[in-house]
Amino acid sequence: MLVKNITRGTLLGEDVSVAKTFSEKVVGLSGKKTPASLFFKTRWGIHTFGMKLPIDCVIFDDAYRVRALAENLRPSRLFFWNPFYKNVLELPAGTVSKTGTKVGDMLELC
């Protein structure tokens, strides 16, 4: 899947995997030794236990508007947000900064 920030005209991810099952969501990017991108839906928060690398995290609503961000989220951490929003995009650390993504930006998934 391709994810674009249409507000800034930047590309957040080209080869974004989609986690659909419970086990895919729980495992997520844990154990990956190279940076990767993952999209999934959950309401309460994420963890980075078992991860080898820090990540950036983008939370967005059903209209694809960014509602929360976490940059350089290190391994063994938790990140929570308003449970009204359920779309989660985990990205390699530095992606949010590099693309200039801010709360309120509009995304496109294709």
CATH code of residue 25: 2.60.120.1140
Please report, as a single letter, which amino acid is at residue 61.
Answer: D
Contact at 8 Å (CB) between 42 and 66? Answer: no
pLDDT of 87 reads 97
Alpha-carbon distance of 73 to 17, in angstroms, equals 19
What integer best gives the mean pLDDT of the chain? 91
Range of the domain at 86: 3-109
Residue 75: strand, helix, or coil: coil
Residue 33 has pLDDT above 70, yes or no: no
- Which of 109, 107, 110, 89 lies closest to 29 in space, CA to CA? 89
pLDDT of 21 reads 79
Contact at 8 Å (CB) between 46 and 88? Answer: yes
Total number of domains in the chain: 1
- The residue among 28 and 97 whose pLDDT is bigger is 97
